[in-house]
Amino acid sequence: MRLVIVLAVLIAVSGTAARAQWPKPVAAVVPQADGYVVIPHAAVPPQKSRVYRAIFDASRGAERPGELVPALNMAGSELNALAAAGVPGKNAKFAVVFHGAAIDGILDDAHYRAKFGVANPNLAVIAALKRSGTELFVCGQNLAFAGIDPKSLTPDVAVASDALIVLMTYQADGYALLGF
């Protein structure tokens, strides 16, 4: 019995000790995306003078129709992170290229509603990313082979020749490849 009480106390104490009070996440640039928690004394904090270049490879669709395409959430989240750390917007050079299942997320609202029965939650994020200077592309090869009419997509995304050409071009220009 004594062992049970000791174990119960240890579990209760360890559960309490593991909980820390963190500041609320900040999502100033893309409110629909995940916010960013500033970590005091972080080992590798964002640097205000650094230029951050990333190409987001958007190939995965959302798990459910009311959710964001993972790459859009991550691009928005990283813009929120940089802004929260005081990095000027001009120092965030981002691009996103859509192919595969992620193309559903760039359907215009009418086509998204027809396919999924809900409004497209990605459109507000796409608009915010575009306002921030993020370049947005969709794979023309994927559209052609799947028979997708580019007119069914949001006009905020440009049709590229091929997703892999976009990825190779941006990586050759010094952009980090981030796949989602």
- Give the Cα separation of 129 and 98 in Å (integer): 14
What pLDDT is stored for residue 99 in this prediction? Answer: 98
- Give the Cα separation of 130 and 69 in Å (integer): 16
| Residues 23-37+50-179, CATH architecture | 3-Layer(aba) Sandwich (3.40)
pTM above 0.85, yes or no: yes
What pLDDT is stored for residue 71 in this prediction? Answer: 98
What pLDDT is stored for residue 19 in this prediction? Answer: 78
Alpha helix (H) residue ranges in 18-121: 70-84, 109-116
Asked if 101 and 58 count as a contact pair (C-beta separation under 8 A), the reply is no
What pLDDT is stored for residue 7 in this prediction? Answer: 44
Residue ranges per structural domain of the chain: 23-37+50-179
- Give the Cα separation of 179 and 24 in Å (integer): 27
What pLDDT is stored for residue 2 in this prediction? Answer: 56
What pLDDT is stored for residue 20 in this prediction? Answer: 81
Would you give per-residue pLDDT tens digits along the chain (180 residues)?
A: 554 444 444 445 455 556 788 989 999 999 999 999 999 899 999 999 999 999 999 999 999 999 999 999 999 999 999 999 999 999 999 999 999 999 999 999 999 999 999 999 999 999 999 999 999 999 999 999 999 999 999 999 999 999 999 999 999 999 999 999
Closest by CA position to 78, among listed 132, 156, 15, 149: 132
- Please report, as a single letter, which amino acid is at residue 121: P
Give the other-Cβ count within 10 Å of 12's Cβ: 10
Alpha helix (H) residue ranges in 85-162: 109-116, 122-131, 140-146
What pLDDT is stored for residue 16 in this prediction? Answer: 52
What pLDDT is stored for residue 6 in this prediction? Answer: 44
